[in-house]
Structure 1
Amino acid sequence: MAVAIAISGGGYRAANLALGVLLGLEKIKGQGLKGNLLQEVDYFSTVSAGGLAVGFYLTKLHNYLQSKRNPPFSLQKAVDSMFWLEKEKANPLRVDLMDYLYTSNKQGLTIERILNDTLLYTPEGGLAEKDIFISQKSARAVQLPYWVTNSTIYQNAAIFPFTPDVLATYRVRGFYHRQQDYIFRGSLTNPDYAFSMPVSVGLMASMSVPFAVPSTTLISEACGKECYLT
């Protein structure tokens, strides 16, 4: 039986509430569990700021597993070690995004980079889809729970789960935020391009708010036009 958790949005308060829920699950231990209830979760599905909590958890877990340390991973210890926790006890998942929302015409790119370089930071350069989803051709073992950040296609209000298979279905070859001179293009001949997509792009798209946080634009070969995610 697979265990799945869905987390909705609602700004930083929702992110910190979700983090509290994850910490609570980690404290639940019992007979038949691998260690604690949080370790039993196989799938996460998030919208908007709910993804901040899951992104923090999975990034810390990924970095811990890559370091090959022996003691079991502890989300509580990861939270306690955050350098801004003492200053922002009531808001441990604060990422300084708001300063950029109304001051920069490159705000979309800036926000995505902040997410990639802080909340989703890994020694490899930021959490990528390949760190969460395993290609069928790969011999790598699954290490992290699957995580789907959900957004909406602006043109038709269709749900867009940000996963490699959906990106491949739309034949996405790049993206940009607000300004077209910041297009990031992938190789059309590389079938694994979708797995190299930064998770921060999906989280940024899921967190967009019309007229406040810019939408993310995917360049799709399948629809022959750009798809705006919000």
Structure 2
Amino acid sequence: MSKLPILLAFVLVSSPAFAQDDTCQAQAECPEDATCECDDDGNVTSATFFEADGETVAERWTMQYEGSNMLSKEIDWNADGVADSVISFSYQGGTLSERELDQDADGIIDVRHEFVLDSQGRIVSETFDHGADGTVEAITTNTYDADGNNVTVSYDIDADGLPDSICTYDPPCPAPYEECGEPTCEEQPEVLREEETVAPDFGYGDDEGSTDDGVENEESAEATE
């Protein structure tokens, strides 16, 4: 089994210098344990996480938008004012089509995550390029029914063109990454494993398919529910 692409989970963090706004704090993109600041459009532009004393800043994140689309997220793990990681986002017709992770903020892309969209803006497939060297390491493919509901998700974890597992939603899920319960996953006969096949975890946190995700200060594999 080839190594899955390594991605950082995505979060929102901000500066304590801003007064807390209850409306902004109520935004789904604002983590419960952070103090968030929003722009006039209601976008969470920054969030700050504090140590247990409630005063010492632990981590700080800053986001930039164009309209409602997040363009970048700078992650300052130790709140020293210097970005430690940068995530950039691209869109197609207003729908997220690509994420790029500069894991150590050195200007070099470490991971590229691309979405292939159909004419209705639905995610047909996703590719993961660890190292952003043009070599795809993993592919996820979605199928839909006539009503546009997500029926199956196939995982090709070594990008050899053969699905390693296929997960089926019954009933179909309204859209990929929504809370639709656990799909039924079946390992494909081409792959022999000792452990039960599950949807691989690629690390975007709770809100896959959006740019606003949960945070962990570690590398993790991407999770597609």
TM-score range, shorter-chain basis?
A: under 0.3
Larger fraction in helix: 1
Task: State TM-score, norm by structure 1.
Answer: 0.23
